[in-house]
Structure 1
Amino acid sequence: MTDHLPPLPSASGSFGDKPVLTFPDTPAPGDLGVHVISRGDGEVVESGDDIEVDYYGQVWGGRMFDNSYDRGSSISFPIGVGAVIGGWDEGLVGQQVGSRVLLSIPPHLGYGERGMPQAGIGGTDTLVFVVDIRGTSRR
């Protein structure tokens, strides 16, 4: 965790387990928060790779809006090239396969002022994700 940020949520479980988040009694940080819960020993994720992850997403202090654990299938997408929200591009490039990473993503690195109403995400919501990096491949 970076020293200049306020406390980030904690997550239960280990790699591959659906987490439960516990939030601190502080407001969400205004900057991207990245905390490596457990570091893997696999390949380093590089910008432009296709990354395979399991993830759990929750609004800061609010409800879960999406996760791959309940579906029982991971997702894959290009990372570091603007295909996903900025907080994922910035927070996951440079991590190692096998890592569990917590991301606290402010609105400007998430869905912006419009939010994502169909998922119940408002334009001022900070998003918290726990991401298990399952694999990476060069494109």
Structure 2
Amino acid sequence: MKKLSKNENVAVFVSLVAVVAFFLVGLVSALVSKITVTNIDAEVPGTPVEVNASNLAARDLVVGEGAEAVSGKVITVHYVGTLDSGQVFDSSVARGTPFTFTLGVGQVIQGWELGVRGMKVGGKRTLIIPPELAYGAIGGHPLQTETLNFEVELLDVKDSNL
């Protein structure tokens, strides 16, 4: 049997990593599609949030009346992210710069993909996102074991230029 060169060994390794990553993405997608959301307080304004997410809790603080956040749209939000301890770990509000992303194309964590969908411009929603829908799948991320709490305000919804 022929001994592989260093470049060939690297190519084999990279190929194996790509195959494993492909299967992990498929597994996570399959798991996310089978789970349900919890409306954390039925006494607040608005209707229960209908999204598919394991242990994702959502509560509308303010129900918006503008355009709806749906897959493929460019979404602009302000948010404050806290840990269960109350410590703020990220905030577009503190930076004074709203965050913009395209919904449904994997630019944000799964908890946001699922929890922001269906909001309307002017709305504010609290999301409690378990690690498996946040950074739990990202090995070595400092927040991989943390439940993340977000207060998200939907500022704008636009068509994508893609």
TM-score, normalising length: structure 2 = 0.63
The superposition leaves residues 93-126 of structure 1 with CA deviations (integer Å, 9 ceiling, x where unpaired) of 1111110010000011001153632xxx2x2210
- Counterpart for residue 114 of structure 2: 90
Does the 8 Å contact 1:115/1:124 carry over to 2?
A: no
Larger C-alpha radius of gyration, 1 or 2?
Answer: 2
Query: What is the number of equivalent residue pairs in this alignment?
Result: 111
* Structure of higher RCO (CA pairs closer than 8 Å, 6+ residues apart): 1
Q: Does 1:46 align with 2:70?
A: yes
Structure 2 gaps, min length 5:
1-36, 42-53
Q: Does 1:125 align with 2:146?
A: yes
SS in structure 2 opposite 1:69?
helix
Select the structure that is richer in helix: 2
* Aligned-partner Cα distance in 2 for 1:115–1:92: 26
Does the 8 Å contact 1:98/1:132 carry over to 2?
A: yes
Percent identical residues = 38
SS in structure 2 opposite 1:112?
coil
SS in structure 2 opposite 1:91?
helix
Q: Does 1:76 align with 2:100?
A: yes
Aligned CA-pair RMSD: 1.9
* Aligned-partner Cα distance in 2 for 1:115–1:86: 18
